[in-house]
Amino acid sequence: MIATDNGLTDDIIIRDVLAGKDGAFVQLVERYRRKVFALAARFARDRDELDDICQDIFIKIYENLDKFRRDAPFEHWMSRIAVRTCYDVLRKRRKEKGNIPLDDIHYQIAADSGEDFMAAEHARTILEKGMAELKPEERLVITLLELEEKAVKEVAQLTGWSETNVKVRAFRARQKLKRFLEKNHER
């Protein structure tokens, strides 16, 4: 339950939203905008798509707020909606015919002191190609575990999968990614 300087907790704001109080939902959006944008940025191809994904997430939150049972923190409930919306984006992209752009997921692979920019760019491109080869659920689990650094238990809660299922999907995704990277290392 987060309270801001105005002293309003999530529960109070949610109650106000459900009561139809003007501006109440804006307070929730302002409170969680950065968290939602940070998560969605891992899945968006560009700024326009990022804006669309975030808008979809907040629309789903608004439309389903009456279903929030308060048996877990609002932030956790909201994160589940965000993860599932991003997963839907990945599945939709996978169904599209033709190309999957190389910049589906934005990685921040910075060049270390001894590594030149071109080598870092090449590594980033190969990794993006490898991630694009994974199934949506594999990309989701790798993104949440490795890039978002979430625990298996948290990924299970966010996705609705069992912890065992998360571990199996992560293992398989890592193996596919490893094979892809080994195969494309010399190119």
What CATH architecture does domain 112-187 belong to? Orthogonal Bundle (1.10)
Residue whose C-alpha is closest to residue 142's, from 178, 89, 111, 115 = 178
Residue 144, exposed/middle/buried by CB under 10 A (0-12, 13-18, 19+)? buried
Give the domain ranges of the chain. Answer: 1-98, 112-187
Compute CA distances 45 → 21, 104, 120, whole Å.
Answer: 35, 5, 19
pLDDT tens digits for range 135-176: 889 989 998 888 888 899 999 998 989 999 999 999 999 999
First to last CA, the chain: 51
> Over 50: is that where the pLDDT of 18 sits?
yes
Q: Whole-number mean pLDDT of the chain?
A: 81
Tokens of 179: 């094979």
What CATH architecture does domain 1-98 belong to? Orthogonal Bundle (1.10)
Contact 150, 78 (CB under 8 A): no
pLDDT tens digits for range 114-138: 445 556 666 677 777 888 888 889 9
**pTM as predicted:** 0.62
